[in-house]
């Protein structure tokens, strides 16, 4: 296993075809519907509202909420994720899918009635980067509209933490992972080795995520949302 320190930047290598292949089956329709309905309930908006799902990954929540009548926009920076999203959603104009980095959203001020940030999709960019993302969310939200953030938090992670795990895919291939948890700073370093079925290239990915205490995001978001 490669012991080099993970970089915060290489997220496109993490959310590639291997992610879709190994994590996709766990993110099934039933689970996704529960998550999507829970999130939109917290946002407290009615069908017809303009909602940003960011980052949307392969747009599983976007799809459910569009079906329920919300006017959905999904944003992600991974071409691989958006290609899968397009495959699932078809080619209609809505729900809208946009490729962008969430530090710089290509939307006007006050464009949305809610922003959903789901499935531990913040904490990738160190403090300044995360604050830039939160500031963009605030910029594109209409006055008084809700930002819903769903992330793993440190206390739960500490309870279920395993320093090593692995997963084999029924169609072939294995991934092996090592994790290091720094409970004081609330950061987790992850190293992953993918050994594919046969004849394909093995790949590695390393990443580091901020997984703070339950109040951690409140503190990180406070300067951005203080005046609301």
Ligand X SMILES: C[S@@+](CC[C@H](N)C(=O)[O-])C[C@H]1O[C@@H](n2cnc3c(N)ncnc32)[C@H](O)[C@@H]1O
Inter-residue contact 205 to 147 (CB < 8 Å): no
Specify the residue, 80 or 183, whose C-beta has the smaller distance to ligand X: 80
Indicate which single residue of 56, 114, 115, 134 sits in contact with ligand X (rule: CB under 6 A). 56
C-alpha radius of gyration, the chain, whole number: 18
Among 71, 111, 120, 190, which residue interacts with ligand X (rule: CB under 6 A)?
A: 120
Contacts of 76 (CB under 8 A, 6+ apart): 54, 55, 56, 57, 59, 82, 85, 97, 99, 100
Closest CA to 141 of 117, 111, 118, 116: 111
Query: Exactly one of 73, 121, 151, 192 binds ligand X (CB under 6 A); which one?
Result: 121
CA-to-CA distance for 87 and 84, rounded, in angstroms? 5
Please pick, from the candidates 101, 148, 174, 203, the single residue that binds ligand X as defined by CB under 6 A: 101
Asked if 15 interacts with ligand X (CB under 6 A), we say yes
CB of 80 to ligand X, least distance (A): 8
The CB-of-227 to ligand X minimum distance in angstroms stands at 25
Measure the CA–CA gap between 15 and 181, rounded to whole angstroms.
21
Angle at 5 between CA 78 and CA 82, to 5 degrees: 5
User: Minimum distance between the CB of residue 25 and ligand X, rounded to whole angstroms?
Assistant: 13
Distance, in Å, from the CA atom of 143 to the CA atom of 79, rounded to the nearest integer, reads: 31
Stretch that binds ligand X, among 56-64, 87-95, 140-148, 171-179 (CB under 6 A): 56-64
- List the interface residues with ligand X, window 159-218 (CB under 6 A): none
Look-up: residue for tokens 């933490």? 161
Q: How many residues bind ligand X (CB under 6 A)?
A: 19
The window from 116-124, 157-165, 182-190, 208-216 that contacts ligand X (CB under 6 A) reads: 116-124
Q: Summarize as ranges the residues that interact with ligand X (CB under 6 A).
A: 11, 15, 27, 55-57, 60, 76-78, 81, 101-103, 118-121, 124
């Amino acid at each position: 296993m490669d012991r080099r320190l993970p970089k915060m930047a290489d997220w496109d290598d993490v959310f590639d075809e291997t992610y879709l292949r190994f994590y996709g089956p766990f993110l099934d329709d039933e689970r996704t519907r529960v998550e999507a309905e829970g999130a939109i309930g917290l946002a407290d908006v009615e069908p017809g509202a303009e909602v940003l799902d960011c980052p949307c990954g392969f747009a599983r929540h976007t799809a459910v909420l569009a079906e329920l009548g919300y006017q959905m926009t999904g944003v992600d920076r991974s071409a691989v994720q958006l290609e899968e999203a397009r495959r699932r959603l078809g080619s209609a104009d809505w729900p809208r899918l946009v490729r962008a980095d969430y530090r710089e959203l290509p939307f006007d001020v006050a464009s949305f009635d809610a922003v959903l940030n789901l499935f531990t999709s913040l904490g990738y960019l160190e403090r300044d980067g995360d604050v830039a993302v939160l500031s963009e969310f605030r910029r594109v939200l209409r006055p008084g509209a809700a930002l819903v953030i769903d992330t793993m938090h440190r206390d739960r992670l500490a309870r279920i933490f395993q320093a090593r795990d692995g997963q084999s895919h029924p169609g072939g291939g294995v991934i092996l992972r090592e994790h290091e948890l720094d409970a004081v700073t609330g950061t987790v370093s992850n190293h992953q080795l993918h050994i594919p079925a046969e004849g394909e290239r093995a790949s590695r990915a390393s990443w580091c995520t901020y997984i703070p205490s339950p109040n951690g995001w409140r503190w990180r978001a406070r300067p951005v949302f203080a005046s609301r």
